[in-house]
Structure 1
Amino acid sequence: MKTTILSAACLVPFSAATDVLLPLYVYPLSGAWDAVYNAASAYPDVTFNVIVNPDSGPGAGQYPDSTTIPAINKLNSYPNVQTLGYVHTSYASQSVSKVESNVSVYAGWASYSESNIAVKGIFFDEAPNNDDPTSTDYMSNAASYARGLGLDCIIFNPGALTTATAYYDAADLIVNEEIAYSSYSKSSTVDVIPSQYRNQSAIILHDTPSGADISSLVSTIVGAGIAAFYATEDCCYNSITTSLLDSISSSLENA
């Protein structure tokens, strides 16, 4: 069974346990997030890193809308859930001012007095995976800016393997593989991640078929020491399959 501890910055897996990294890009209409709430409740020994994304970022307002606020507040009520705000960098081509503005809005959610909608960190999507100094400086500075605002859990998502040391120094977690389930194999997806980076690496699979052997897949991921994992049946994180999330969560708890 997995045990998690709460550090000053992040929910950190104890030893080599593997967390869920869930891009929650579904608008929270009635019942839409129930699968996540239910999984968090049913599997208290699994850490759920949940990425909230109101509008390809925090949205135009100071706070989320009146439907999203109670939904995030409920996520934050679970001690094993950590919410993170979505910010895309367009592979380091997004203006620094825009990235910092989006990060600042998320940081400001902590000041909302009527509900707990604070996020613990930032998920920087569309991160470059090269070791060009322009790219590594851009991402390192973005991470430092977020940490300076108290958002201390930093995830980069290049979606492909990176071995640039600067990224691992700047981020707590890096999505080193974001691929279709049909492209997954242990040799080409897990084994290619250098062992020294696996405890900071996540793997996300999309277009996962309903008959996939999730228990075996999770066993491989956990056995390799990968820090976080998620699989979805759709292409773009716009829906949640309750049975699949349950299978992932159960397999992780019993790994």
Structure 2
Amino acid sequence: MFLLLVIATVLTLASTVISTGLLIPLYAWPGIDAWNTIYDSIAAHPSIPFYLIINPSTGPGNTEYPEDVFITAIAKLNSFPNTKVLGYTYTKQGTRASSEVEKDIAAYANWDTYEEQNIRLCGIFFDEAANGADPSKLAYFQKLSRKSKSSSLSTVVFNPGVKLVADVAKWFAAADFIVEYENTYANWVARAPDEHFSASGHYGKDAVILNLTPENADIDDVVQLAKDMGLGAIYLASDGNYMSLSTVPKVAVAVAQSRSARQGARPIVQLSIENS
């Protein structure tokens, strides 16, 4: 006679917490109190990663360090442990001279030498990225990624704004996140979510940015869907040029609620003991 222990474990979707973050184009000028909504949301949700894209002058600008207003604002962002500040640059789908993009990378990296306050950046947001249709562009972006990471700007984000069409695994290997959807809220909800992405195996490194989000939009539903899919980062903006920060608190609360729901769940373990 012996005991045969059969353990069947049923795991719910909520048993694993995926750290979906907020990827926010922080393009509004950081004047007096202009970024307070950002600071307040970051402080209120310390478990959520905030990836914040700053853009002083369609890139870092032509001075050694940014203007004082940016220095103060970036230093405040860096005072929070759950933030990563990314510098904006653009690539024109890989047609901009790589040397020019590398100058932007070097300029952002140099901010780490500023001694009076901490304005160090954590990475680069490469806007207007290619979508893989032209295979020759992959090497261009791989080179930029290596340049960024070797400059201690280790978080690399490519933004084609549409799903990749070729060499998907190689593109995702070169980046920490790829924005495969940057378009309107209306276009997002008009199609099945998986139609916006190239491959489900890369959802954890996928980011989505919805704009022109209506005031009555179901932000909670969109965020919960992103969490269920395991997307790496999400943001919903009310406008098309990202000057308004009015939706930041709503999106942050939705992400926090989704995280709490997942953290609260536990695996269900069933034990069956059979004698013979």
Per the TM superposition, whether the score is higher than 0.5 is yes
Partner of 1:20: 22
Post-superposition shift, 1:215?
Answer: 0.8
d(CA) in 1 for partners of 2:74, 2:192: 36
Identify the residue that residue 4 of structure 1 maps to in structure 2.
Answer: none
Q: Superposition pairs for residues 72-221 of structure 1, below 5 Å?
A: 72-163=74-165, 164-185=168-189, 187-193=191-197, 194-221=199-226
The one-letter code matched in structure 2 to 1:180 is T
SS at match of 1:230: strand
Could you list the runs of 5+ residues in structure 1 that have no partner in the other structure?
1-13
Deviates further, 129-138 or 53-62? 129-138
Offset of 1:253 from its aligned partner? 1.0
State the 1:167 CA deviation. Answer: 1.1
Cα distance in structure 2, aligned partners of 1:80 and 1:45: 7
C-alpha distance in structure 1 between counterparts of 2:18 and 2:249, whole Å: 21
Q: Percent identity, aligned pairs only?
A: 34
Amino acid at match of 1:16: I
Cα RMSD after superposing both structures = 1.3
Q: CA deviation at 1:101?
A: 0.2
User: What SS does structure 1 have at the residue aligned with 2:224?
Assistant: helix
Contact 1:190 1:221 in 2 (8 A): no
What is the CA–CA distance in structure 2 between the aligned matches of 1:217 and 1:150, rounded to whole Å?
33
Which of 33, 36, 42 is equivalent to 2:35? 33
Q: What is the distance in 2 between the residues matched to 1:47 and 1:200?
A: 14
Q: 2:244 aligns with which of 224, 239, 246?
A: 239
Q: Number of paired residues?
A: 240
C-alpha offsets along residues 63-121 of structure 1, whole Å, 9 cap, x if unaligned? 10011100000000011111000010011011111000000000000110001000000
SS in 2 for 1:91: helix
Cα drift, residue 192 of structure 1: 4.2
- Aligned residue number for residue 252 of structure 1: 255
Q: Distance in 1 between matches of 2:212 and 2:40?
A: 22
Write out the 4+ residue segments of structure 1 that deviate beyond 3 Å after TM superposition: 186-192
Deviations 1:116-145, CA, capped at 9 Å, x for gaps? 000000000000002433210111001011
Shift of 1:187: 4.2
How far does residue 55 in structure 1 lie from its aligned partner after superposition? 0.5
**Distance of 1:189 and 1:161 partners within structure 2:** 12
SS of the aligned residue for 1:31 comes to coil
Amino acid in structure 2 at the alignment position of 1:78: F
Q: Which has the higher contact order (CA 8 A, sep 6+)?
A: 2
Match of 1:42 in 2: 44
Alignment match, 1:6: none
Write the letter of the residue equivalent to 2:184.
Answer: A
User: Structure 1 length as normaliser, TM-score?
Assistant: 0.91
Larger radius of gyration: 2
Q: Structure 2 CA distance, aligned partners of 1:221 and 1:187?
A: 14
